Amino acid sequence: MFVSKLIFAALAATTAIAHPGPDHAVPRAEIQRRDGLAKQCANHAADFNRRRIAKRAMQKRWEGSGHNTTFEITTEAPYYDTIQNDTCVLNPEVTQGPYIWPRSQTLRQDMAEDQAGVPLWLDVGVLDMATCEPLPNVLLDFWHCNATGSYSSFTHLSPNTPFEKLLAELNITDFEIGVTDLHTDDTTFLRGMWPTDENGVMEIKTIFPGET
Ligand SMILES: *[C@@H]1O[C@H](CO)[C@@H](O)[C@H](O)[C@H]1NC(C)=O
Ligand SMILES: *[C@@H]1O[C@H](CO)[C@@H](O)[C@H](O)[C@H]1NC(C)=O
Ligand SMILES: *[C@@H]1O[C@H](CO)[C@@H](O)[C@H](O)[C@H]1NC(C)=O
Ligand SMILES: *[C@@H]1O[C@H](CO)[C@@H](O)[C@H](O)[C@H]1NC(C)=O
């Protein structure tokens, strides 16, 4: 999963922050804090239709990002009408980024392209962790590798080469997260973005990577 690390490093955050694994133990107090946050919102997740946060997020994200894209979207109905309270509740952790690569930005609800795998529909609900209210119009950005570890836009980098070695091979000595551009091409498979609807939910289709 070396390229996994690479992509997270290049696009999202430091690997340590994006993937706190066993070697980056999260302190017990922090786990308790997150647990509390998740619990605090559990009821609201079930009851998320009460109030709505006024327009936000998507507009802001585009402003000042050097893009002038304006678009009107009619979202397809997600499978669930409301945010489900029996699924994962994520806590804020990564605050760096996003590091947008315009050529691989893909506003769509089907990001599978021709990649092999089991069709997978993701229904995602977004809550404001401070107020526990659903957040409409939040643009969610997804990307993942294919069954053999390759990420689109980076297909010329070997997924089997450790990141440090990769940098050495590329003669890069001043790698900086979000600054150093390691993209190799404009392929877009397994990347997609879509906004939440007025109920704070969105649906996007991809594949669970695997050979068929
Ligand atoms: C989740 O929703 C169900 C059905 O509305 C409700 O019975 C249950 O108490 C909720 N659980 C939490 C943790 O809010
Ligand atoms: C974006 O829009 C502004 C105002 O209409 C314009 O001045 C600017 O040239 C546009 N930028 C691009 C990259 O199209
Ligand atoms: C993953 O993507 C790479 C680069 O495009 C490709 O060579 C490889 O065949 C893909 N893997 C699968 C399982 O399709
Ligand atoms: C990196 O530097 C070495 C030694 O100067 C050179 O042989 C190699 O072609 C360079 N690689 C790249 C990708 O520039």
* Cα 180 from Cα 27, distance rounded (Å): 31
Query: Residue 84 Cα, ligand 1 centroid: separation in angstroms?
Result: 9
Is the pLDDT at 174 greater than 50, yes or no?
Answer: yes
* Cα 150 from Cα 104, distance rounded (Å): 15
Is the pLDDT at 189 greater than 90, yes or no?
Answer: yes
Query: Residue 10 Cα, ligand 4 centroid: separation in angstroms?
Result: 21
Ramachandran angles phi, psi of 140, nearest 5° = -100, 135
Q: Which residue has the tokens 């994520």?
A: 90
> Which of 5-19, 49-63, 154-168 tops mean pLDDT?
154-168
- pLDDT grade, residue 48 (50/70/90)? low
Is the pLDDT at 115 greater than 70, yes or no?
Answer: yes
Query: Could you read off the pLDDT of 60-69 as tens digits, one per residue?
Result: 433 444 545 5
* Of 22-26, 91-95, 98-102, 161-165, minimum mean pLDDT range: 22-26
- 125: amino acid identity, one letter: G
Query: Residue 82 Cα, ligand 1 centroid: separation in angstroms?
Result: 12
What is the residue with the minimal CA distance to atom 4 of ligand 3? 155
Largest CA distance in the chain: 55
Q: To test the ligand 3 pocket, which listed residue (111, 148, 212) has its Cβ within 8 A of the most ligand atoms?
A: 148
- 152: amino acid identity, one letter: S
Cβ < 6 A, ligand 3 pocket:
115-116, 146-148, 150, 155, 211
Q: To test the ligand 4 pocket, which listed residue (156, 169, 171) has its Cβ within 8 A of the most ligand atoms?
A: 171
> How much is the pTM?
0.62
* Cα 24 from Cα 86, distance rounded (Å): 28
* Stretch (H or E) spanning 161: none
* Of 55-59, 62-66, 88-92, 146-150, minimum mean pLDDT range: 55-59
Ligand 4 atom nearest to 170, measured from its CA:
13
Ligand 3 atom nearest to 209, measured from its CA:
13
Two tokens at 96? 């760096």
